[in-house]
Amino acid sequence: MFLKTDFIVIGSGIAGLRASISLAGSGARVTVLTKDKASESNTEYAQGGVAVVLSEDDDADLHEDDTLVAGAGLCDEKAVETLVAEGTKYIKELIEWGTEFDRDGGKLVFAQEAAHSRRRILHAHGDSTGAELVRSLIARAGREKTINLLPFANTESLIVQDGRCVGVRFLDPILRAPREIYGKAVVMCTGGAGQLYQHTTNPPVATGDGMAMAYFAGAEMADMEFIQFHPTALALEGAPRFLLSEAMRGEGGVLRNINGERFMDRYDERVELAPRDIVSRSIVAEMRRTGSRYVFLDMTALGEAFLLERFPKIHETCRHLGLDIAKDQLPVSPASHYIMGGVRTDLWGRSTLPGLYAAGEVACTGVHGANRLASNSLLEGLVFGARAGEAAVNDNSELQIPNSRTKDDSQSGMWNPGSGIATAVRKRVKRVMWERVGILRDRDSLQRAIEEFEQIAASNLSTSSRNFVTLANLVAKAALWREESRGGHYRTDFPEQREEFRLHSVQAICEGVRSAHRIDFDDHNVSVAKPQS
């Protein structure tokens, strides 16, 4: 038994909700599948805010320049221009829809974050920006009678017929059995893959299933080697790696080593406001130098009243864990946070597989390059979610929905739902990723990781476990291919940037890693051999 709808959206973070609203605006029936409850996504946990050009002393050129600098030479300029130019429009739209950004005397409050040249970060309820965005977008989506949210529907694979994505296989939460749903197109907004690593700020749902499903269905992946590790995740024994927002350093917090010494000036002249990759590597270097497992984030100079107002959620969480952010040194260390790579798309969310669109962290638009600028991710999900929904309608309005399942050339023989990612597979992959494909990498560790992943993949795995180990292998292979250090990718055996690697890595099933000048495959795509070492 199968279902039919006009368009299928996978994921209900900022990108998925905004794409759904665009799709429903055409009168189309939209079915939104989510692995957990509708509000559970990386967006929900976003503390730092959303970057946007709205303050009087800011302009688009400055925001674009900051994004390009953070991206270490790999941002696609057209994508950055689109993000910044349209971001202002879509944030104003959110405000019209009732999103409650923080204000002072009726005026929007703009905060500072690392690597931004202006105070341009909007927050909501202090450090609960993501939750407020999800709330307002779910409320707005609820006004569209053609949007049907289907929570706890774990998507397992894409359905491809005659070279086109026409549907999705998922586990029906009511029937507790596999089902299929067909539509004119699928918009994938499944978020990131932080759970690939032993230490992560991401929620349990961020396992990268969407990326793996797209890869197995035939879509190209890009820039999978670029993983952003957040410098300041709470490092308490037995506690989750709760994220301590970038904004805490933006507001004046300082990093101290285990001996209480401020150390960032040893590593970068921008000290605590250096880009995240530099701060993360600096913390690792300082931990190794001092023989410690963490450093301290010191907020005590800012005053209790300010900290309570500015970081209420962080204050409350730390209090439950026995820490007072106004009085105590907060133990922190890096954790995986964001993946710059993903499903390769053009500027309208189109993947290389007809009928499949992608937006948000699951996609690689070229906006972030080798390293994401703080607080650009929510803006990207908003802008490109809206664009992907609009393109899906415009591209496919005349298509007919398949009446029945016919020839299916996707993931032949792979449908084996099982019970999710096996515990043993999850633990083994996460450990290998942290130890061998982590903040510091080299050829030997990457080759050993790949060998181990391929050994795991050779066993009889459920679809979810296979997706998990395949995605880890894609990251490791792209990292092995890139023989340089750039942005979130650091090779100890190739510590410098190399101009011949100012290219994007591209991976497709049954192919090795190749390169392209642009993420946008409609413009000047190339396929070349690996640059000579």
Cβ neighbours of 309 (radius 10 Å): 12
Separation CA 501–CA 532 (nearest Å) = 10
Question: Which of 169, 276, 350, 514 does the annotation list as catalytic?
Answer: 276
Domain residue spans of the chain: 231-335
Burial zone of 388 (CB within 10 Å; 0-12 exposed, 13-18 middle, 19+ buried): buried
Separation CA 249–CA 254 (nearest Å) = 6
The single residue listed with the structure tokens 């011949």 is: 500
Task: Quote the pLDDT of residue 113.
Answer: 80
Cβ neighbours of 261 (radius 10 Å): 13
pTM of the predicted structure, to 2 decimals: 0.91
Task: Quote the pLDDT of residue 275.
Answer: 81
- DSSP at 100: -
What phi-psi label fits residue 529: left (phi over 0), alpha (psi between -120 and 50 degrees) or beta?
Answer: beta
Task: Quote the pLDDT of residue 324.
Answer: 97
Separation CA 454–CA 457 (nearest Å) = 5
Beta bridge partners of 167: 159, 182
Q: Is the dihedral of CA 468, 469, 470, 476 positive or negative?
A: positive
Separation CA 389–CA 299 (nearest Å) = 42
276 catalytically annotated:
yes
* Helix (H/G/I), strand (E/B), else coil: 54: coil
* Helix (H/G/I), strand (E/B), else coil: 182: strand
Task: Quote the pLDDT of residue 175.
Answer: 84
Q: What is the pLDDT along the chain (533 residues), one digit of tens a residue?
A: 689 999 999 999 999 999 999 999 999 999 999 988 765 555 655 556 899 999 999 999 999 999 999 999 999 999 999 999 999 999 999 999 999 999 999 999 998 887 899 999 999 987 788 889 999 999 999 999 999 999 999 899 999 999 999 999 999 888 888 999 999 999 999 999 999 999 999 988 899 999 999 999 999 999 999 999 999 999 998 888 889 988 899 899 999 999 999 999 999 999 998 888 899 999 999 999 999 999 999 999 999 999 999 999 999 999 999 999 999 999 999 999 999 999 999 999 999 999 999 999 999 999 999 999 989 999 999 999 999 999 999 999 889 887 755 555 544 334 455 557 899 999 999 999 999 999 999 999 999 999 999 999 999 999 999 999 999 999 999 999 999 999 999 999 999 999 999 999 999 999 999 999 988 875 434 333 344 43
- DSSP at 437: S
Separation CA 44–CA 134 (nearest Å) = 6
Task: Quote the pLDDT of residue 114.
Answer: 76
Separation CA 368–CA 302 (nearest Å) = 31
What phi-psi label fits residue 72: left (phi over 0), alpha (psi between -120 and 50 degrees) or beta?
Answer: left
Task: Quote the pLDDT of residue 38.
Answer: 67
Task: Quote the pLDDT of residue 43.
Answer: 60
Report domain 231-335's class.
alpha beta
Separation CA 119–CA 107 (nearest Å) = 14
Cβ neighbours of 146 (radius 10 Å): 17
Task: Quote the pLDDT of residue 231.
Answer: 94
